[in-house]
């Protein structure tokens, strides 16, 4: 039976004039299609979500979107690079028309869970641990996998990334590009003092513990936005999340073409 689509939520970057302009344009378009636009607080009642902005906008919106694991997400690029926001602004209306007809492809993106103290965070992109307010200073960390020692590290920091986040900070630090449908994570040291400390890819069913060995405090950054302080001997627990983000793909989308376009491999 064809899914009846009636209600949606729109997220947009209010600091970008283009995103604001597109918000009003798309809202009018959707209402003309008979869609009811809900407030973000009613995310669980939505059939779809439209996110207008750059990748950062989607990362922030994902913290709300994951409350409804059945919702379909249109990520519209009104930013610059846009690895996550793949739908071009001029493609949205046609993509939504095809969506109503059940003619779009979707891609599920895995998340990680981070447990620190009594808080749980859902991670779409990455978790970064660095020296607090002193990126030029090194930090000492211990990394365990399934209660087995992986390595100790003296470096500028460490990144634990999902496949979605593999093209972000991890890539700039020398980590591998992972296809987005893989259920793995990658651990990438940041400027390690030991040259044999290299990125490693693990199945995301593994449980990873990271503890701070340095006397000075460190900082945890989740998806480039959420910050927490970490003290000596504190432990971060990272493990797989049972929730996923379902992205609606633009027509004829090919991830290899995305890499060619975004990374300018054809130039």
Best CA proximity match to 159, nearest among 214, 196, 114: 114
Which position has the token pair 């607090």? 132
Q: Exposure of 56 by Cβ count < 10 A (0-12 exposed, 13-18 middle, 19+ buried)?
A: middle
Catalogue the E-assigned strands of the chain.
7-12, 36-37, 48-53, 72-77, 87-88, 106-116, 119-123, 126-131, 139-145, 148-155, 157-161, 184-190, 200-203, 208-212, 218-222, 226-230, 235-248
Q: What is the DSSP letter of 167?
A: G
Largest CA distance in the chain: 60
Q: What whole-number distance in Å separates Cα of residue 153 and Cα of residue 190?
A: 10
Exposure string for 167-184, b = 16+ CB within 10 A, e = fewer: bbbbbebebeebebebeb
Residues tagged active-site: 55
């Amino acid at each position: 039976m064809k899914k009846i689509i009636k209600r949606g939520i729109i997220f947009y970057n209010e600091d970008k004039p283009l995103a604001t302009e597109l918000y009003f344009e798309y809202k009018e378009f959707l209402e003309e299609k008979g869609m009811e636009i809900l407030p973000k607080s009613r995310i669980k009642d939505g059939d779809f979500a439209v996110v207008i902005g750059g990748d950062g906008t989607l990362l922030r919106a994902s913290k709300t979107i994951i409350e409804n694991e059945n919702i379909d997400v249109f990520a519209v690029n009104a930013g610059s690079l846009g690895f996550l926001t793949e739908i071009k602004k001029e493609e949205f209306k046609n993509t939504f028309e095809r969506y109503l007809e059940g003619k779009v492809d979707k891609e599920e993106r895995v998340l990680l869970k981070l447990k620190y103290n009594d808080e749980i965070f859902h991670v779409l992109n990455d978790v970064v641990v660095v020296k607090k307010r002193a990126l030029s200073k090194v930090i000492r960390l211990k990394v365990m996998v399934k209660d087995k020692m992986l390595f100790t590290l003296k470096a500028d920091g460490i990144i634990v990334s999902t496949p979605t986040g593999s093209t972000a900070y991890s890539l700039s630090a020398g980590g591998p590009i992972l296809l987005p449908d893989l259920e793995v994570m990658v651990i990438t040291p940041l400027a390690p003092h030991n040259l044999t400390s290299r990125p490693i890819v693990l199945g995301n069913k593994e449980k990873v513990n990271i503890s701070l060995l340095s006397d000075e405090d460190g900082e945890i950054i989740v998806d480039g936005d959420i910050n927490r302080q970490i003290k000596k001997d504190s432990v971060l627990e990272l493990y797989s999340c049972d929730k996923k983000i379902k992205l609606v793909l633009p027509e004829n989308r090919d991830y290899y073409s995305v890499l060619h376009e975004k990374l300018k491999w054809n130039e």
